[in-house]
């Protein structure tokens, strides 16, 4: 290795030491242990979780205390949680709450209540983080049971509420999914609208709906058909697409919850009756396509007690929270539990390669543009956005961001104008700044092959008393004399060494153009 190459490589390594401080060394990407959220001696059921705009976590559920089912909630702004706060006080059962924060900052909790003699949907809101709440507002009034609500707000400000209703009685009583929307923050609502399902079997109950609007604007609805298998439908803005079966295991699959993470992956959590009829929380993830093979359903909890009714959210720091109900030892009553985790995120620099306009990746003439091509790969589990910086030696060429699908790579091109560069050897390098939660940072940095920058017109120099066609990083009388001495020689009859060396513009003949090149750069160093 010559001294120029050693110098360039040393500089690049020094840059690496400086840049390594930019790489966040995150914790390992695993699920946390199960954490108990409630400890009341009464049963706590069916939680729903959100993170509010101020970062506060909210969890709501129904609890059999005191001697009746009511809606409770608690919040957390950090490492500690508030006391359990009772939200409803009616003597009839209030069950299965769902929670949402709308764009105006209001927190909504919608649930089913038996206070009218049958189950109807009610909701209430707070605009001051729970300091005060609206009255209980009735949403449905059909004589059949309306239950298991799910609520969301779409990007156009519309509030959607989905639920299961037993109002279909012909030819046999059947639960179907209905929804209604409000465009004015709940002041008025549309009529109850049936979502048509069960084209193959009109007698199966459609239960436990869960909804979201994906980042592409479509509305997703997932539910459990007759408490056996999960299905979903997508609304594209004008019509609902045909329902699609999501699970295929012979055991029952119930209580689904759908969410989307920041990298656009769609997750569905649910509680199947598998593992010798022991309910645990499972999930599956849409990565370009679903895997309908139950072998790819991912088991989240493994306790011997029954785990059911999951809800989930991804918070602003990209942590995924999952809450559920379980009668864990030693209390052996149903309490709310949660665990947290983070998707695998991993960026890598696959290659760094220089090139010039004339395609040379080892030599650049000063004043021309050098292009540093940086190939970045997403080795994580979902689409992600990476920040990439490119260098030549210690000089930062620029910073770019690129969103890349999982398993894919992308080539970013950084330009370097060599007008003010000193002649010599240069090593290109690049770093992809580690994203939050990334643990494998060993491949976040790469050095490309060194290349040389020369002065145009510098073609020779004295080495050990001999004039050789090797540039000496200055344009002087020796370069001028060599061009003049080979004037009007041409390929292929010119001197085999000095002919090509003195043909500075590469047109196959040593002529006035080559003399002018030396003259224009005369005495440059």
Q: Which residues contact 494 (CB under 8 A, 6 or more apart)?
A: 486, 500, 503, 510
32: confidence class by pLDDT, cuts 50, 70, 90: very high
Which is higher by pLDDT, 406 or 354? 354
Give the pLDDT of residue 277: 65
525 in any annotated domain: no
Mean pLDDT of 371-380: 95
User: Looking at the predicted structure, is the pLDDT value of residue 303 above 50?
Assistant: yes
Average pLDDT, the chain: 90
Report pTM: 0.77
- Residue listed under structure tokens 């073609």: 459
Structure letter (DSSP) for residue 91? S
How many Å apart are CA 320 and CA 302, to the nearest integer? 18
User: Looking at the predicted structure, is the pLDDT value of residue 313 above 50?
Assistant: yes
Clarify whether residues 101 and 210 are in a common domain. yes
Clarify whether residues 239 and 197 are in a common domain. yes
Clarify whether residues 89 and 14 are in a common domain. no
Q: What is the pLDDT of residues 447-481, one digit of tens each?
A: 999 999 999 999 999 999 999 999 999 999 999 99
Give the pLDDT of residue 310: 98
User: Looking at the predicted structure, is the pLDDT value of residue 228 above 50?
Assistant: yes
How many Å apart are CA 478 and CA 467, to the nearest integer? 8
- Residue listed under structure tokens 């066609």: 469
30 in any annotated domain: no
Clarify whether residues 187 and 335 are in a common domain. yes
How many Å apart are CA 88 and CA 91, to the nearest integer? 9
Clarify whether residues 212 and 310 are in a common domain. yes
235: confidence class by pLDDT, cuts 50, 70, 90: very high
Clarify whether residues 505 and 390 are in a common domain. no
First to last CA, the chain: 24
**Taking a C-beta distance cutoff of 8 angstroms, is the pair 307, 317 a contact?**
no
How many domains, the chain?
3
Domain of 510? 461-520
* Exposure string for 413-437, b = 16+ CB within 10 A, e = fewer: ebebebeebebebbbbbbbbbbbeb
In SS3 terms, 340-361 reads as EECCCCCEEEEEEEEEECCCCC
Phi, psi of 416 (to 5 degrees): -130, 115
Q: What is the pLDDT of residues 414-460, one digit of tens each?
A: 999 999 999 999 999 999 999 988 889 999 999 999 999 999 999 99
Q: What is the pLDDT of residues 138-195, one digit of tens each?
A: 999 999 999 999 999 999 999 999 999 998 776 777 899 999 999 999 999 999 999 9
451-454 and 363-365 strand pairing: parallel
Query: Of 414, 432, 454, which marks where a domain is finished?
Result: 454
CATH number at residue 506: 1.10.1330.10
How many Å apart are CA 250 and CA 419, to the nearest integer? 70
Cis before 434 (ω within 30): no
Structure tokens at 12: 């690049």
């Amino acid at each position: 290795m010559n001294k120029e190459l050693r110098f360039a490589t040393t500089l690049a390594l020094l840059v690496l030491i400086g840049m390594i401080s930019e790489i966040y060394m995150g914790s390992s990407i695993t699920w946390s242990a199960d954490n108990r959220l409630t400890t009341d001696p009464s049963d706590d059921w069916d939680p729903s979780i959100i993170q509010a705009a101020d970062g506060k976590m909210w969890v709501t559920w129904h609890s059999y205390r005191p001697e009746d089912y009511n809606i409770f909630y608690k919040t957390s702004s950090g490492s500690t949680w508030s006391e359990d706060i009772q939200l409803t006080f009616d003597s009839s059962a209030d069950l299965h709450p769902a929670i949402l924060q709308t764009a105006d900052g209001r927190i909504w909790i919608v649930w089913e209540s038996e206070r009218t003699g049958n189950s109807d949907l009610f909701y209430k809101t707070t605009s001051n983080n729970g300091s005060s709440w609206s009255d209980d507002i009735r949403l449905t009034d059909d004589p059949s049971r309306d239950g298991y609500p799910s609520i969301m707000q779409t990007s156009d400000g519309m509030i959607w509420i989905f639920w299961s209703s037993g109002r279909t009685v012909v030819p046999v009583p059947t639960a179907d999914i209905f929804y209604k929307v409000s465009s004015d923050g709940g002041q008025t609502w549309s009529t109850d609208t049936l979502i048509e399902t069960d084209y193959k079997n009109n007698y199966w109950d459609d239960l436990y709906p869960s909804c979201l609007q994906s980042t592409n604007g479509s509305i997703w609805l997932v539910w459990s058909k007759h408490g056996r298998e999960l299905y979903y439908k997508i609304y594209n803005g004008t019509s609902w697409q045909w329902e699609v079966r999501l699970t295929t295991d012979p055991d029952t699959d119930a209580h689904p919850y759908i969410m989307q993470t920041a990298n656009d992956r769609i997750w569905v959590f649910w509680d199947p009756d598998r593992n010798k009829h022991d309910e645990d929380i499972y999930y599956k993830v849409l990565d370009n396509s679903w895997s309908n093979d139950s072998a790819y359903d991912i088991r989240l909890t493994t306790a011997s007690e029954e785990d059911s009714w999951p809800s989930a959210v991804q918070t602003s720091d990209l942590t995924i929270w999952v809450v559920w109900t379980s009668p864990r030892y030693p209390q052996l009553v149903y309490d709310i539990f949660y665990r947290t985790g983070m998707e695998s995120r991993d960026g890598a620099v696959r290659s760094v390669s220089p090139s010039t306009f004339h395609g040379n990746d080892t030599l650049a003439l000063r004043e021309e543009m050098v292009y540093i091509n940086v190939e970045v790969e997403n080795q994580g589990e979902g689409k992600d956005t990476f920040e990439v910086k490119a260098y030549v030696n210690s000089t930062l060429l620029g910073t770019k961001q690129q969103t890349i699908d999982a398993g894919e790579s992308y080539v970013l091109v950084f330009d370097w104008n060599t007008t003010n560069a000193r002649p010599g050897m240069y090593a290109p390098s690049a770093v992809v700044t580690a994203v939050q939660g990334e643990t494998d940072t060993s491949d976040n940095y790469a050095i490309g092959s060194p290349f040389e920058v020369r002065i145009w017109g510098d073609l020779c120099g004295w080495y050990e008393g001999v004039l050789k066609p090797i540039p000496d990083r200055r344009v002087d009388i020796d370069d001028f004399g060599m061009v003049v001495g080979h004037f009007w020689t041409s390929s292929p009859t010119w001197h085999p060494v000095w002919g090509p060396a003195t043909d500075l513009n590469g047109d196959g003949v040593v002529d006035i153009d080559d003399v002018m090149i030396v003259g224009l750069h005369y005495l440059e160093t």
